[in-house]
Amino acid sequence: MEHDHMDGLYKSSNPFVKHIHNKRLKIIKSLVGTNEERLLDCGCGEGHLLAVLEGIKYGIDLSEGSLRRAKERNPGAKIIEANLANLPFEDNFFAITTCSEVLEHIPDYRKAISEIVRVTKVGGRIIISVPNERNWTIGRLATLRFPIKLKDHVNNFKYEDLVRAFGFEPKRVIYIPLNRTYQLALTQVFEFEKPQVNR
């Protein structure tokens, strides 16, 4: 991924693209709320999301360049090089775990979700955001933005896909930009709460 890829989206010259990505950050920030417990951002990238969240912050990613930028943006956070499929944390370690615009890149996303659930404490919250690939692809085609289909996006998620992978229903789903339905959404934000016993 190119240097400061996400920075280019949050500051995009396309006002609609810029709006969608910044709205996602604001929604996740509002869901996390005031937090003084341990928080993990999985696939933290360049650290934009971590920078707006509150808590004892941890971030993991695989890209050295992204980790460097994340540390610059979040000097008080613990930023670690780690694989989402094998997180270096104890069970039930975090009160809140976020994973924003990451799962679409991971072929074995079920293993990643299993790890996210494992490190989140019982009763803790898991906040996931994923794009609606179909609508982004249509939007890129309509506005002649290239590439039309992103090669590194190997998954497209609907509600039932994530429910199957987690094994339990989310507390809520927010669709961006209009919060109406999946059919009109460009991005989906899911808030899960880890149950006592996974069903």
CATH code: domain of residue 66: 3.40.50.150
Please give the tally of structural domains in the chain. 1
More confidently predicted of 38 and 199: 38
Q: What average pLDDT does range 39-55 have in this prediction?
A: 96
CA 192 to CA 38: how far, in whole Å? 17
In-domain check, residue 76: yes
In-domain check, residue 199: no
In-domain check, residue 198: no
Residue whose tokens read 């799962």: 103
The DSSP H or E segment spanning 163 is: helix 159-166
186 closest CA partner among 22, 43, 74, 50? 22
CA 59 to CA 84: how far, in whole Å? 11
**Contact indicator for 98, 41 with CB cutoff of 8 Å:** yes
User: Which residues on neighbouring strands pair with residue 61, listed in sequence order?
Assistant: 81
The per-residue pLDDT for range 120-134, each reduced to its tens digit, is: 999 999 999 999 877
pTM of this prediction? 0.89
Domain that holds residue 63: 5-193
In-domain check, residue 29: yes
